[in-house]
Each structure stands twice: as C-alpha cells, then as structure tokens.
Amino acid sequence: MTRFVIAHSPDSDDAYMMAPLALGWLDEDPDRAGFDFEFVRKDIETLNHESLESRYDVTAISFGVYPEIRDRYDLLTAGSSIQEGTGPLVVTRRPMTPEELDDTVVAIPGKRTSAYLSLRKWRPGLDVALVSFDRIMEEVEAGNYDAGLLIHESQLMYQERGLHLMVDLGAWWKDNYDLPLPMGGNAIRKDLPEELKAQFARLMRKSVVMARQRHWESVDYSQGFGRGMDREMVSRYVQAWVNDFTEDPGERGRKAVEVLLGLSPVWIQG
C-alpha cells in the first residue's frame, strides 16, 4: 500500500468532492488499489504556505500560489473551483465607491489566494490586512475594517450581517475577459511516479463525478464542514462550486487559469 496524504480545506465544497474517497464509496474501483489515504484538513492559506515545502502528496491550493510551486507540484484536472460569472466579493460596512476604497484597509484571507490576485487585477495598490477568512465578515461588521474580501460560505451570508456588496470579482472578470474565474485546484507532487499521478488523477475525477451523482449523501457529509449553514444552503453552495469545471476545466477553464496567472500550468489528466 502507498501511504498517500491528501490535504484539503475544511470547507463544504472541498469535503463534498472528497466524500467518495473519504467514505469508501470507491474502495472497489481498480484505481483505488494500492492507496492508503490519510486526510489532512487546514485552511487554504495554511495549505498554500505548506505547499512551498511539498508537505503533502495531494493538496488543495489557490491558483494564486501555483507560480511559486510549479517546480514542486502539477495540477490535477479534477477538483478545481472555477465558476462562471461570480466569485469572491468585496463587501463594505457602509456604501462606498471604489475610489473611497483606496483610502481604507481591506481585510483579505491571504496574499497567496486567488481571491487576492483577482482583487489586485481589479484595483491595484489597495492597502490590505490579513484576517482569517472565516472572521472577515465579523471584523467588517464590527468596524475594525471598512471593507473585506469574502470567499467560501461567507459569500452567501454577508447580507445577514448588513454588509454592502461593492463588486463581485467573478462578474467583473467575466465582463472583462469573457472567462470563468479560477479560484483553487488540487495539486499533486511533481516528483511522484507518472503512472501513480495518472492513477490518482483518474480516481479524483471519479470522486467528483460520484459526489455529484450521490448529491444529498455528499451534502450530508460536507455539512459538517459548512460552519453553520443548513442543508439547503450547503447544497446550493456546493452545486455552485462543484460543477462541470470541477470534473475537468476544459479549454475555457485552462485558458482562464493561464490568463489569471500569466503562464501555462502542467495538468495531470483525470
């Protein structure tokens, strides 16, 4: 058996696509043979940082960190978070113009996140402060920051806090580039044997496909990672982020990653 460590964020969409692997639904699949899986769950900015050390065999990453790790990791075609026409949100405590934002500090979830990369493309030169992604709404609501960059489930919950939407960066990206906005993906260690990488790539795609086929079972598993979202909200969230691009980014998804990063990644086909 090959001990294989898979790291992903403690978010409902990551848990959802990993459910078939974590719950043993694919144990009889030929591509499952030989793997002894261990799962590690940490926030995405921590995983971005740890990817610089090649700590895990497979790890969730923000696409924003890929240029720093392209000599250590390849990208799996299965498991990407890419969405058409919507993405990270810039929200404010009070209605503001983008020009007013230039005189504030924006709370962001990490400097290696794709969300921050897209924010810099939308409005370069903003002052930012690092805040844990799951506290940004609270910090903006409390007045500690006038604006925040929201990722993950908080994108569905900011209105409950009385916050105001300034820009949906996915919509802005679509308007400017006519492409979906790539946020994150799964990376596999470059130094692993090619046949092993190809085997896991196939298995990862099967996991995404099966998670979508067994949707409500996958939702029930992932709800434990949803930070207070009810079952229906988890379903809505994971269906937005685990989509056809997650099974395979295709030509448009690959092009979107290239445009965002300014380089062509190495993909391992699932």
Active site residues: 152
CA distance 163 to 154: 11
The three-point CA angle 193-199-204 to 5° equals: 125
Q: Which helix (H) or strand (E) holds 246?
A: helix 244-247
CA distance 19 to 15: 6
Q: Rounded to an integer, what is the distance from CA 8 to the centroid of its chain?
A: 9
CA distance 215 to 236: 11
* Residue entry with tokens 């921590």: 46
What is the 3-state secondary structure of 66-84?
HHHHCCCEEEECCCCEEEC
